[in-house]
Amino acid sequence: MGESAASSSGLFYLYGMVVGLLSKTSVRNKVVVITDALSGLGKECASVFHKGGARLILCGKSWEKLEGLADDLASASDPTKTFPPKLVLLDFGDMDSMPEVIAEILECYGCLDILILNSSLKVKAPAQSVSLEMDKLLMDNNYFGPATLAKGVLPSMISRRTGHLLLVNSIQGKLTVPFRTTYAASKHAVQAFFDCLRAEVEEYGISVSTISHTFISSSASGKAASSKSIWSRDQKPLGVSPDEAVAEIVKTLSNKRKEVVIAPSLPKVAIYARSFFPNVFFAVMAAGVKNAAAFEKM
C-alpha cells in the first residue's frame, strides 16, 4: 500500500515537473521530430509534447502502429489546443531510403525546431559470433542513420539560425561492456559525431545535446525489471523509466545542457575509472566475464 502510494506520488511529481518545464521550454507550435515514436520512450515523448502543443512528426517502422499512436494521442487531448501529428515511415536499417525520408520530414512543415534521435538497435553476443551483416545493421541503426538524418536537416536549421538536436544515447557510448562489441562501437561513434557537430553548429544558434543512460525500462517510475547485469549490485535495477527519461529530455531542451548522464553512482564511477584508472577498469571487466562464465557452469 505504502509502495503504491509512493509510486503514485512519484508519478505526480514527475508530471508536475514536466508540465512546469514545458511551459518554460515553450514547445507550443514548435516542430518536433521523434525518430522512434513507437518505443516506450517515444510514446511517452509523443504524449508529453503533443499535450504541450508541439507540431509533432512521428517516425517509426510500422505505418499501422503510427496511425494507432496518432489516434491514441488525438483521443486523449483537446483538439483546440493540439495539432494532429504528421507520420513518416523511418527505418535506419534501410539507408537507401534516407534521402526520401529527409525530404518527407522537411515537407511536413517546411522546417523543424527539435530533432529527438531515440532510435537504437541492441545485440548482446560474443564478438566472434556476430556476423558482418549484423555489424553493418547495428552501425546503420545506431550511427549512420542518426548522423545522416541530422546532416539532412541541418541546412534548414542553419538557414533559420535555430534548432536543437538531441541524441538519446547509451552509457556505452562512454565505456565498454563485454559481449556488446559492435553495439558499444556504434554508440561511441554516434557520441563522437554529435560531440564534434556541437562545436561546428554553435555559431548558427543550433544546440546539440546528448543524454546517456544505462537502459530504459519498459515499466513506469523506475520499476525496472531486475536482471543480472554488470551494473547490478545485489540485483537492484539501475535503469530509468520512460517517464523519467522524458522529464530529463524536457529539462535538457529547456536548459540546453550539452551533456547529461542518467545513471546511478556505480556506472558513473565506472566512467571515471575508465578515464583515470584504465587498467583497474579492464581488470574489473575481465573478472566480471570470468565470474559470469563460472556461474553458468554451476
CATH number at residue 165: 3.40.50.720
pLDDT value of residue 214:
87
Burial tier of 233 (Cβ tally within 10 Å: 0-12, 13-18, 19+)? exposed
13 phi, psi to nearest 5 deg: -65, -45
Query: 143 near 186, Cβ under 8 Å?
Result: yes
d(CA 274, CA 213): 17
Per the domain annotation, does 259 fall within a domain? yes
| pLDDT string in tens for the chain (298-residue length) | 555 555 555 554 555 555 555 544 578 999 999 999 999 999 999 999 999 999 999 999 999 999 999 999 999 988 889 999 999 999 999 999 999 999 999 999 999 999 999 999 999 999 999 999 999 999 999 999 999 999 999 999 999 999 999 999 999 998 888 899 999 999 999 999 999 999 999 999 999 999 999 888 765 544 444 444 444 444 445 678 888 999 999 999 999 999 999 987 777 788 878 778 788 887 888 876 765 554 343 2
Per the domain annotation, does 289 fall within a domain? no
Per the domain annotation, does 89 fall within a domain? yes
pLDDT value of residue 97:
97
pLDDT value of residue 187:
97
% of the chain with per-residue pLDDT over 70: 81
Residues assigned a catalytic role:
183
Per the domain annotation, does 193 fall within a domain? yes
Per the domain annotation, does 284 fall within a domain? no
- Provide the domain limits for residue 192: 11-217+237-263
Per the domain annotation, does 4 fall within a domain? no
Per the domain annotation, does 226 fall within a domain? no
The number of beta carbons lying within 10 Å of the beta carbon of residue 217 is 21
d(CA 58, CA 70): 8
Per the domain annotation, does 70 fall within a domain? yes
pLDDT value of residue 297:
38
pLDDT value of residue 237:
52
Number of domains the chain contains: 1
User: What cell does 157 get?
Assistant: 536549421
